[in-house]
Chains A and B, each alone.
Chain A
Amino acid sequence: MRTTTPAPAASHTISGLGPHGERASDPRRLVITASDAAAARAGGFRVAVVLHTLSGNWSEQHLAAIAGTLGDVSIPLLDVIDCEFDPDRQIAALDRLIAERPDAIISLPVDNTAVAEAHLRVARAGIKLLLLDNAPTGLLPGKDYVSLVSADNFGLGRTAAELMAEHLPQGASVGVLSYDVDFFATNQREIAFTKWMTTQRPDVTLHTAGFGAPHLAGETARSFLEEHSALDGLFVVWDEPAVPVLEQLEELGARMAVTTVDLGEKVAPRLADGTILKGVAAQNPFSQGVAMAQVTILSLLGRQTPAWIALPGIPITPAGILGGYQSVWRAPAPREIMEMRESRASGS
């Protein structure tokens, strides 16, 4: 027997709290006036960006939005650094950038604890620190960093659970593949997914396993499936590790409902196909990048900025992928995806 749960609709509300329990601020309240833009152009500011990775659409869209929005007010990007998820690489990059004295650094901390001191050194050097997606433990807004911009990661986890629920039979067994690194965004997603399942679908039994790096997720999934062979569903906390997991499932011929977060270029065709991947709770990376650039400009002009700016996620199902793709990537879906949906719609 299947338990039907209505598919989630896109929402403008933020269900999570910030890294220090803050209520989210709406990015629509970040307004750059003409006089702000003129002051920013006259300021001669320089900004550097330090990301966890530069590969993938998520980073590309963020960078495009940050570079474009800062470029609109003539603020050049001094440097853009790929940390490859490596805390040591991030620490070295931050220390090198401190010596170059940019006015602001936009950073996505790759860990909660290992890179905390390096980020504190940025703040102590008088450089404005703006955080994307994660705030290292112990760093405080207004004191150690200016603002955090992120998706509503708690809402994304909840949405992923809602998207999966309609495909789960009564008494289902569901796996959660979480990220072993202590990271605000993925912790929120895992907690929210599990909370929703335990409160809304108490009939579901949950099993959890963790992977230490995205490329290890496939191996984790394989051993996880050996231990729990009768899974009805599997949640992977973001799309990059979901790709090797989906490959493993396809190789093993496993059939279960998978949901994840973010509509990367490698999961989009699988969502369009809809055989295994049943839903994606997507961020809006371009909008997040714009918000990040706007809050950077306002902070450089000495304005008070919110501690946490959060953007709601977008639930995307196989049937809604064309609109969802456009909403997330600000571009038409690739022909391959259009044809897959047409083929599905015609039943061929």
Chain B
Amino acid sequence: MPDTSRPNGRGRKRNSETPSRSLITILNLVRKGTADTRQEIERTCELGRAVVADRLATLAELDLVDETKTGIATGGRAPKLVTFHRNAGCILVASLDQNSLSIGLADLSGRLLTEHHEAMELSLDPRGILDRLVKLFDWILARHTDAGTLWGIGLSVPAPVLTPSSETFLSATPSFLPGWEHIPVVETLIGRFDAPVWIRSSVETMTMGELSAGAATDVDTMLFVKVGKRIGAGLAVGGQLFRGTKGAAGLIGQLPVTDAGRTGPLEAMAGADMIQREGLAAAQDGSSSYLADILARMGELTPFDVGQAAQAGDPASMDILSRSGRMIGHSVAYLATMLNPEIIVLGGSVAMTNDTLLAAVREVVYRESHPLVTRDLRIISSQMGSSAALVGAATVVTEALFDPDLMRGWIVQGVPQTHPGFRAARDAAADRLTTTPAPPTPPAPSL
């Protein structure tokens, strides 16, 4: 953390009267790569040379920008490049899913430095899962002591997160899953790591992950559809996630669909539970010797097994995945017609397992959507796996930290922990922990 008591390069004491607005503007220009020389910054911000030089000196002292590299000369002296110091701090990210726990460490540009995924059943004791998450965070920080100060934590969870819009920083854990109502996730993480926490649904984080590092980095409008036990959609417009009024946009899993005379919610009719149930029936009634063999060897059958069997050409499994894909396709066709996306990305454990489901979704969407919608529409499977949620969680944190309104509270001190709002949230979280004891945390970074 920079020593904020020192005077800056011009000998003036930095205080709250420092024109933070221009600091914020310049930092975001440099961070996003919109301007990378002093001349470009002056031109873009319409600020004078002396002001830009002063602000850059301040940002350099805060360790947020770097001017040691030289650009390419275009006639005169080669300009100094102004680059964002993305290693000035780091971000912890984690993704809770139905069958896995993933963690990662990202730099301030949201780029993952490392990641780890392990099998875990979400139905287990929530306090045990939180304890495991804390241990993994301890381990990853101990392994990357050169990653800089921790600036924030991003969590991805497998359900909608309804966050109060009035709070800049979370001080309490929002409701997101049955059984987790009284588990102090946010409070524990703030207390343990002294950093602000953001939580988003996995559909939202995976959508942002695809925008940041996946199939949609150069796309304006994207529809992301997560297919697992639950089915949900994420929408990005203008490169930005659209969350809706209460953060509940894209809950298509509840939409009714009809198949073989039965009507029910999409995620019950076409999600991972249906695939597992139908796969088990096919294994037991003799319609799939392939699945029967897996069931006999493993003692259980997962949706992933059915997906792999379909990929290997098992007719019964292909039929199950096709039926799932067609039902999902009906719902997605409506969304596509309403939103006219450039690309639809299918993600989640089921969608990434095989091509059968993808082919069925494509067939229905191309057939049922308006021809103008499908003219240049691409429908693909995600290549990012669970990494999408981690990258997206890091993007959620960086976008929040560098939001001009929020940055105004910390930019002159150089680290977000100095934001008065975070300090208040930290105190409130600590108070809540005293009334709701957190699970025990280990003394050392052992796992």
Contacts and interface: CB of A to CB of B under 8 A. Distances in A.
A141 B383 contact: yes
A20 B118 contact: no
B111 interface: yes
Contacts of B383: 140-143
A174 to B, nearest CB: 10
Contact of B446 (A16, A26, A137, A198): A198
Nearest to B112: A137
A18 B117 contact: yes
Contacts of B353: 23
Interface in A5-45: 12-13, 15-23, 25-26, 29
Contacts of A15: 119
Nearest to B298: A13
A322 B114 CA distance: 39
B384 interface: yes
A154 interface: yes
B385 A307 contact: yes
A113 B86 CA distance: 15
Interface string A297-325: 00000001001000000000000000000
Nearest to A138: B112
Chain A interface size range: 35 or more
Contacts of A195: 118, 132, 447
Most chain B CB neighbours (cut-off 10 Å) among A20, A26, A143, A188: A20
Contacts of A18: 117, 385
B214 A140 contact: yes
B112 A20 contact: no
Contacts of B193: none
Most chain A CB neighbours (cut-off 10 Å) among B112, B385, B387: B385
A294 interface: no
B303 to A, nearest CB: 10
Contacts of B13: none
B214 A17 contact: no
Contacts of B349: 23
A188 B115 CA distance: 11
A190 B139 CA distance: 10
B213 A138 contact: yes
A150 to B, nearest CB: 13
Contacts of A17: 100, 117-119, 386
Interface in B358-412: 383-387
Contacts of A12: 297
B114 A182 contact: yes
Given A25-B308, A29-B312, A194 B447 contact: yes
B113 interface: yes
A26 B312 CA distance: 11
A32 to B, nearest CB: 15
Nearest to A14: B119
**Interface of B, helix, strand, loop or mixed by DSSP:** mixed
Contacts, number: 88
A304 B312 contact: no
Contacts of A19: 115, 117
A208 interface: yes
A80 interface: no
A207 B445 CA distance: 9
B114 A191 contact: no
B102 interface: yes
Nearest to B144: A182
Contacts of A113: 113-114
A191 B118 contact: yes
A138 B390 CA distance: 11
A154 B132 CA distance: 16
B77 interface: no
A137 B116 contact: no
Interface in B124-146: 132, 135-136, 139, 143-144
Contacts of A154: 118
A85 to B, nearest CB: 18
A153 B301 CA distance: 23
Nearest to A183: B114
B446 A20 contact: no
Given A20-B385, A20-B387, A137 B115 contact: yes
A81 interface: no
B386 A191 contact: no
Interface string A60-71: 000000000000
A189 to B, nearest CB: 11
A220 interface: no
B304 A23 contact: yes
A113 B144 CA distance: 12
B312 A21 contact: no
Given A29-B308, A137-B113, 6 more contacts: A17-B118, A20-B115, A113-B114, A141-B383, A190-B447, A198-B446
9 contacts: A17-B117, A19-B115, A20-B386, A137-B115, A142-B383, A143-B383, A187-B143, A194-B139, A207-B446
Interface of A: 12-13, 15-23, 25-26, 29, 112-113, 137-138, 140-143, 154, 176, 182, 187-188, 190-191, 194-195, 198, 206-208, 304, 307
Interface of B: 97, 100, 102, 111-119, 132, 135-136, 139, 143-144, 213-214, 297-298, 304, 308, 312, 349, 352-353, 355, 383-387, 444-447
Q: State the 10 A-B residue pairs at the shortest beta-carbon distance, nearest first.
A: A21-B386, A20-B385, A194-B447, A21-B117, A17-B117, A20-B387, A206-B446, A142-B383, A140-B383, A143-B383
